[in-house]
Structure 1
Amino acid sequence: MRVLIIEDEKKAAAYLQKGFAENGFTADTAASGDDGLHLARTENYDLIILDIMLPGRDGWEVLEELRKEGSEVPVIYLSARDAVHDRVRGLELGADDYLVKPFAFSELLARARTILRRGPSRQPERLRADDLEMDLVGHKARREGRPIDLTAKEFILLSLLLRRKGEVLSRTLIAEQVWGINFDSDTNIVDVAIRRLRRKVDDPFERKLIHTVRGAGYVLEAK
């Protein structure tokens, strides 16, 4: 799942990005309303975390523009403005929630997951292929009932492969979805990550699930 964090305070944005990444999300950041609106228009996000006081367009304008254009992406306002009329305004503009700073990240994460579960494009809580199973909420992976110890990036990578099992995913697509970057074709970051993931997911087991499609990318499927 991809999250866009529109926040001009660098430390706050880095804190949020790290927190979401550690919990299985790919998180992009934007430091102004204009940049955030551009990303929201040109990329596909499952959730937007939106500050109000921003350079350029403020958070009110960003959400208003998105809703006018028909975007239904869930939005959580995260702001130091705690007046009742501010909260009401945010909800009336089409925000799905409003959380006042300072906040506990655990609460923000819980609210984000609740919104994603109840939305029209509800995300599955468990993914499965053959004897491999992932619990996205509990952040656990098992194969043949045995736990697999994954890093945060490995968890995101494996969940991407599982969500789109049977589909060949290019290295560029994987890099964009897992690392949130466009990368040079000579970079081997994806190949290295796949090798490490195979050591944990495939090497200890007879049946192999992660396959290389020469010249195209990678696919997860039971053969």
Structure 2
Amino acid sequence: MSKRILVVEDEVQIARVLKLELEYEGYDVLVEHDGKSGLEVALHANLDLILLDVMLPELSGIEMLRRLRKAEVNIPVILLTARNTTLDKVMGLDQGANDYVTKPFEIEELLARVRSCIRHNTLSVKSSNETPLLSIADLVINTETREVARSGISISLTPKEYDLLVYLLTNKNKIVTREGILMHVWGYEYEGETNVIDVYIRHLRKKIDEEFSPPLIQTIRGVGYAIREN
């Protein structure tokens, strides 16, 4: 069965090109031109991926994404943005985006990101079905319900924080490199500032280590990170 992609893009010509290119690759494509109608489709259609422009009429792409995640709709989202600052990228990822592409973009790069994002999500679902619980010490993740708790206390994580924690726990007691984190959590070979990892590690530490003992996330200087009990 073909994977179904929703394109939410207000520039008609760009939307048309994306639809043609994606359909040529074998995807089933839906198109909306504003955030309000895009949100309606995303909430009710059976989708595998959303390509979401940030600057949209009616409802911005970031606000549409925020409402989707608030409604616990975890469809992978790739943001299409003309902005190119670390702050804008981090804001989008913090709202639950899985990836982003900066305009203007090469269509082959976008298609590669689409394939990677869908593949990563498929593997995550498969992994969740096979191993619903991940744990270390008193930290437990239920990958079926995406619930995270430490010492029985529920912890709220953003989608990207959750993905990062799952990757660390999947490799518990092992050192994971920054390159490995970027590839497996962001789903592609990142070609920009890597301090986004530091931002997310800092957020995770504040949520799962700051109020608990012992601290679990360790920095391996010059290499990467590890999650372990000592």
TM-score, normalised via structure 2 length: 0.51
CA RMSD of aligned residues (A): 4.2
Tell me, in whole angstroms, the C-alpha distance in 1 between the residues paired with 2:50 and 2:76.
12
Alpha carbons of structure 1 residues 152 and 38: separation in structure 2 relative to 1, 3 Å: closer
Alignment of 1:10-159 (within 5 A): 13-14=50-51, 19-21=74-76, 45=119, 116=126, 123-159=130-166
Q: Say which SS state the counterpart of residue 133 (structure 1) adopts.
A: strand
Deviation at 1:36, TM superposition (A): 6.0
Do 2:50 and 2:75's aligned partners in 1 also have CA atoms closer than 8 Å? no
Q: Say which SS state the counterpart of residue 20 (structure 1) adopts.
A: coil
Tell me, in whole angstroms, the C-alpha distance in 2 between the residues paired with 1:220 and 1:189.
18
Deviation at 1:45, TM superposition (A): 3.0
Identity of aligned residues (%): 28
**Unmatched 5+ stretches in structure 2:** 6-26, 33-48, 53-64, 69-73, 78-95, 102-106
Alpha carbons of structure 1 residues 205 and 194: separation in structure 2 relative to 1, 3 Å: same
2:212 matches 1:211: no
Tell me, in whole angstroms, the C-alpha distance in 2 between the residues paired with 1:175 and 1:4.
26
Tell me, in whole angstroms, the C-alpha distance in 2 between the residues paired with 1:27 and 1:186.
14
Alpha carbons of structure 1 residues 185 and 7: separation in structure 2 relative to 1, 3 Å: same
TM-score, normalised via structure 1 length: 0.52
Alignment of 1:183-202 (within 5 A): 183-184=190-191, 186-202=193-209
Give 2:20's aligned residue.
none
Tell me, in whole angstroms, the C-alpha distance in 2 between the residues paired with 1:14 and 1:44.
12
Do 2:117 and 2:187's aligned partners in 1 also have CA atoms closer than 8 Å? no
Give 1:83's aligned residue.
none
2:229 matches 1:222: yes
Render the CA deviation track for 1:1-57: whole Å, top value 9, x for unaligned: xx9964554657337x973248x995799xx99x869986x9993666xxxxxxxxx
Read off the aligned partner of 1:208 and give its amino acid letter.
Answer: P
Alpha carbons of structure 1 residues 191 and 4: separation in structure 2 relative to 1, 3 Å: farther
Deviation at 1:137, TM superposition (A): 1.4
Read off the aligned partner of 1:126 and give its amino acid letter.
Answer: L
Tell me, in whole angstroms, the C-alpha distance in 2 between the residues paired with 1:174 and 1:4.
27
Tell me, in whole angstroms, the C-alpha distance in 2 between the residues paired with 1:43 and 1:14.
11
Do 1:20 and 1:26's aligned partners in 2 also have CA atoms closer than 8 Å? no
Tell me, in whole angstroms, the C-alpha distance in 2 between the residues paired with 1:150 and 1:44.
22
Read off the aligned partner of 2:172 and give its amino acid letter.
Answer: K
Deviation at 1:195, TM superposition (A): 0.6
Larger Rg: 1
Tell me, in whole angstroms, the C-alpha distance in 2 between the residues paired with 1:148 and 1:122.
22
**Unmatched 5+ stretches in structure 1:** 49-72, 74-111
Tell me, in whole angstroms, the C-alpha distance in 1 between the residues paired with 2:208 and 2:112.
38
Tell me, in whole angstroms, the C-alpha distance in 2 between the residues paired with 1:192 and 1:38.
22
